[in-house]
Chains A and B, each alone.
Chain A
């Protein structure tokens, strides 16, 4: 990977004093991720260019990451660890090298040219392949407020195929800035724009960011995004066996990694999600929680199962209410449950509250007797994540085996999708949705299930009930028919029938 810095300040070769690297010879430095070479392809009075060339050893990169040969952590067992863009694209690795090689220059000191080091000079920075999530526009967003004029063009994925642009951008920045500032901008920009999981983060990162961002980050309009991305990947994601399974199947590992992915409609518009404050309330989700809680209260439920609890969005609300004496969160994803445990601070929860909660891995496509005997089951935004062919299995597991007195089901009303300006026509609200039903389709499913399994059912809107397209969310509350006490089979009725 390559970075060049050019100046036309006269004498241009003073750049060597500012960078603390002699233009007359090529120098190599060993850094943690490989070897960094600094050399000057041109060095004249009028124009001087310093090039930082980082030679990454891809094999050592993998082995070094996990500490032992061949790797030991689960991360080491996906192909992406071996065949990736790290040796080529300008990313956090280049920032590491830059930080190391130009350490003195970044502090803005120069023994030989102390004054020049504090003076803005005409600079040109070139990155032939900058890894950037958000494309050329994001490069512009980062650098333009800092006084750079930005020329950024996306690199096509493959000229031979009609596959569009890659995530790499050929970047040329021009401006009149202090060299130290330019280097610090780059030091922060490379990891932030890359926004990658393959990331190095140590506890001192906050300090590093504050040092490198001194004098400019605080005023940057996107400071929040920059800070978040810079620190986001702390404690590199433990990629699990899931990722490996995806590869076995020739799938993109990220495609499976959506157990906790946000809905498409949770953000104002694709691409701008970065602007959103992470904990901004999402009104519809809250409305849904409210409606579900109301239905649970109305049913007088005390022991409640949240089927498909995910990372536990509803669980705090259930736990907050002492009337719910037992709360069970069930999800098929072990990762989602770990996330739930973390979000609920399970390890620090007071014992009395902790005793009311259980998290279980389970699947609604299998009959599961652990779930029998509860007062109510909540299936909040769950059914649409199942292929229609698997619904009969879910119906059996919930309405025949678990068979609680009350079942609450919510699911998106697809008719309402036209009200989402940012949702393209025909696109479902979440990439994992296998279907979204119209009100009529939902009602017919609900009626069929209710009558087949001995439940009464009522339908309720969640959110504003639009006169034309209905509410954003449909809800059904199933109540086990009164003739049926729902007791799990135990006593033998001695009916002589056969």
Chain B
């Protein structure tokens, strides 16, 4: 916790100077014109690290010496520097910086980005600089300028460290400038090469007995001194404890806790970060003026019983603690009060303040305590953050962060998290040592059953940020790499998501689009099974399954065991859901949704799936029939209307042409055409009618589940489709009235007989008016040469396609033109959406933060607004 700047380093003249720099810092070069700053920068830094005021002047004015452009040049320089620092890049400012106010701006810039400012002064005699400037043809500096610069530099030199520079290196004379070398120092908080395993312990607050118990519970063996006081603890597997601060105050034996922890840290058996209580203790021990309250009085009294030497050790230990640590390749961050992403691995007073105190809103609650800003709700970093500071009844993950302060000193528990296992271990407090200002445990304090703060926080974790979805986004998927969502697609999707979709907590998945098989050359058809089989054969997939395509509407059903009760008063995140491809509630009627889910949950229960999969929820991919249940309005306004117009207009035209023909006019071509169109119009009407029937409540509805998507803790893309279909069959057996089986055929695409049989099956299916079938790799998720293989290809029937391509599409002259269709875009989209869908499922099953799931779900919706031929 050393915060004082290092002293000026002015190397002795006879040694080559070695300049130590933090590996992330803002290096401010200071020196008069011609002192060799640019050469120095070129020698020691990468060109991209160096921002030169001359270059910037050139960039904004096409003339590096245009002094009138100086303000604009520095505005540019500061902008680039700020951007680099925000992104964590070491940056060197090559400008004279001889004036205090110029340096002050740069110090502030460094502080704003929580990096350390370092000054490197190149102090060369004026004569040298003058000679160098004279050699330059591009610059003509009046002699007075150099003299003024030199005077400014001299004036400022002694006060540099007081200006806020963390390190000041002065290179005295040309020799030293030339001889200087640079070494980089790792920041104190950088322990990325330390990968644990750790046992991360929350606020101890002087509860020595509980700490001993916890360490024993964690498997440590305690070592004791001659007074039987614990002074170390060793884990047989070499695990180390990681203390989150607030070791002291309020509890019965703060010195005892310190003795143990200090011993462990000294022996390399533990790491510790400071809490606000250690911070205050240091100041008190150093005789600073602090208010002795909040349990500090207890610690100070207890320390009176210790030796002065021990007190000094405590002072040194607490003073030396580093505000936070970044561990395990950057995957773990520990800080007493947590740390938001932009401050992780940075160094500044602000970082320290956040790590010690967290962020407060400036408000106070009903108990007079500062209201903390819920930084964790907004946390979107990839590092797990473990912290304490604010007691919670039970630790709960919020966006990958976990508070481990379970209020031991207030009568709660002392808790540790095993990392990387992420399992919790805790021991109860022997008693309440200190009364909390705010009721902390249920039943504590004046008439509060549950801590309001906690209830609020819980809900807030369901709240998503606009930045989670808006703008161009890139989603990392484990199966399909990086998937990009364009800004305009996100803009279209946000409206649908906000106005029509279910609450995000109920929307764990959206199904990907599916490509049709390649266009067939078979006369009279656009699609035929042979192309689908050929596709998978070419991908090296031997076994496929052909699944009957139910002509309903795609439905994703999130079934919760609690849906069995049909209780309508549960909050959305506890209710199941049945939704469409764009995340809208399938039924507008909430009561119908409840009844549907209750019945489906019963089927899942009856089939024994909740128990078998050891889960309280199940996500099913399905088709919900009839089509008209969801698409009724569309059928009427679009399809039935076309049929009505055709059936009214075409026969009238036939009649007119027949009359004309009877008069002897030659209209035979027209007549034939119109007669054919009359037949097509009728066929079109027949085509959609098959998929429409009236429903009343649940009566007439049927769900055909064909895939189990996810449940608690697992996904099922590795189970073959035979397993998925068998689950569907079991559900159909459990409730034949509601659940419909999916007919299917297994095909070996290297066996012509198999193919012929499946083709005959498809032909029979579609000739009877069926929509068609979907061909999928039997093994489910399959990778090919170029990544994921299409999860399925649809092969639609001739009559069904009238709905898609129009009543007359089967006429040869139309069909020939329609064959020119391009599947590339659709296929690409299908794979990207597939990867996103799988990612959403993995994240949901693993219980990742809601925004991580929503990011994928939203991306699927956004991609669906991509312009692609909708007939595919």
Residues of A bordering B, CB below 8 Å: 1-2, 4, 25-26, 37, 39-43, 51, 53, 55, 58-59, 69-70, 74, 76-80, 82-85, 87-90, 126, 128-129, 131, 155-158, 160-161, 163, 166-168, 170, 240-242, 244-245, 247-252, 254-256, 259, 332-334, 361-370, 385-387, 389-390, 392-393, 396-397, 400, 432, 454, 483-485, 487, 489-498
Contact = CB atoms under 8 A, between A and B. Distances in A.
Given A83-B638, A88-B649, A496-B294, A78 B870 contact: yes
Given A128-B648, A129-B644, 20 more contacts: A26-B666, A40-B660, A41-B663, A59-B814, A82-B804, A82-B871, A85-B646, A129-B649, A244-B867, A249-B584, A250-B630, A250-B634, A251-B633, A252-B638, A367-B378, A387-B503, A492-B354, A497-B370, A498-B390, A498-B405
Interface of B: 203, 246, 275-277, 280, 293-294, 296, 337, 353-354, 357-363, 369-370, 373, 378, 388-391, 405, 437-438, 459-460, 462-466, 468-470, 488-489, 491-500, 502-503, 513, 553, 572, 580-582, 584, 627, 630-631, 633-634, 636-653, 655-657, 659-660, 663, 665-667, 670, 673, 681, 685, 689, 692, 803-808, 814, 817-818, 820-822, 861, 864-871
A39 B373 CA distance: 81
Given A70-B822, A70-B869, A85-B645, A252 B637 contact: yes
29 contacts: A26-B666, A37-B670, A51-B660, A53-B653, A83-B807, A85-B646, A88-B650, A128-B651, A128-B652, A157-B643, A163-B636, A168-B648, A244-B864, A245-B582, A245-B861, A251-B631, A332-B498, A334-B491, A361-B491, A362-B466, A367-B378, A389-B503, A390-B503, A396-B460, A494-B357, A497-B294, A497-B438, A498-B277, A498-B405
A369 B353 CA distance: 23
A366 B498 contact: yes
A333 B580 CA distance: 21
Given A70-B869, A163-B640, A247-B870, A361 B277 contact: no
B645 A485 contact: no
B807 to A, nearest CB: 8
B665 to A, nearest CB: 5
Contacts of B462: 392-393
A256 to B, nearest CB: 7
B640 A248 contact: no
A489 B362 contact: yes
Contacts of B469: 366
A484 B363 contact: yes
Contacts of A334: 491-492, 495
A365 B582 CA distance: 17
Given A26-B660, A241-B489, A392-B459, A155 B645 contact: yes
Nearest to B643: A158
Given A241-B867, A385-B499, A40 B663 contact: yes
A67 to B, nearest CB: 15
A168 B492 contact: no
Contacts of A389: 502-503, 572
B506 to A, nearest CB: 8
Given A39-B667, A242-B492, A396 B463 contact: yes
Contacts of A496: 276-277, 280, 293-294, 296
Contacts of A167: 641
Contacts of A129: 644-645, 648-649, 652
A492 B360 contact: yes
A42 B659 CA distance: 7
A498 B633 CA distance: 59
Contacts of A369: 465-466
A489 B503 contact: no
B633 A489 contact: no
B370 A41 contact: no
Nearest to A244: B865
Contacts of B655: 41
Q: Which 5 A-B pairs have the closest CB atoms?
A: A41-B659, A241-B865, A128-B652, A250-B631, A241-B492
B285 to A, nearest CB: 16
A43 B638 contact: no
B859 to A, nearest CB: 14
B359 A489 contact: yes
A387 B390 CA distance: 35
A490 B353 CA distance: 12
B641 A166 contact: yes
A77 B870 contact: yes
A245 B650 CA distance: 32
A158 B645 CA distance: 10
Nearest to B639: A83
A249 B645 contact: no
A494 B337 CA distance: 12
B369 A495 contact: yes
A332 B867 contact: no
A359 to B, nearest CB: 13
A36 to B, nearest CB: 12
The B contact surface, by secondary structure, is: helix
Contact of B492 (A158, A245, A255): A245
Nearest to A161: B692
A498 B533 CA distance: 66
A363 B490 CA distance: 12
Contact of A396 (B390, B459, B631, B651): B459
A200 B580 CA distance: 35
A16 to B, nearest CB: 13
Contacts of B391: 498
B656 A2 contact: yes
A2 B652 contact: yes
Given A84-B642, A368-B466, A492 B353 contact: yes
Nearest to A432: B499
Contacts of A42: 659, 663
Nearest to A453: B456
A215 to B, nearest CB: 30
Contact of A361 (B369, B494, B821): B494
Contacts of A242: 492, 495-496, 865
A249 B692 CA distance: 16
Nearest to A481: B363
A137 B86 CA distance: 68
Contacts of B805: 82-83
B466 A363 contact: yes
A248 B644 contact: no
**Quick one: which of A4, A39, A40, A55 has the most chain B CB within 10 A?**
A39
Nearest to A331: B495
A4 B652 CA distance: 10
A2 B362 contact: no
B466 A166 contact: no
Contact of B665 (A1, A39, A77, A156): A39
A250 B641 CA distance: 16
A68 to B, nearest CB: 12
Contacts of B494: 332, 361, 363, 366
Contact of A88 (B640, B646, B689): B646
Contacts of B460: 396, 400
Contacts of B660: 26, 39-41, 51
A256 B814 contact: no
Nearest to B802: A83
Contacts of B353: 492
Contacts of A256: 496, 500
Given A40-B665, A83-B639, A58 B808 contact: yes
B553 A250 contact: yes
In this complex, the member of B246, B369, B665, B866 whose beta carbon has the largest number of chain A beta carbons within 10 angstroms is B665
Contacts of B438: 497
B640 A82 contact: no
Nearest to B489: A241
Given A128-B652, A496-B277, A370 B466 contact: yes
Nearest to B276: A496
> Counting chain B CB atoms within 10 Å of each CB, which of A1, A78, A87, A386 scores highest?
A87
Contacts of A363: 466, 494-495, 497-498
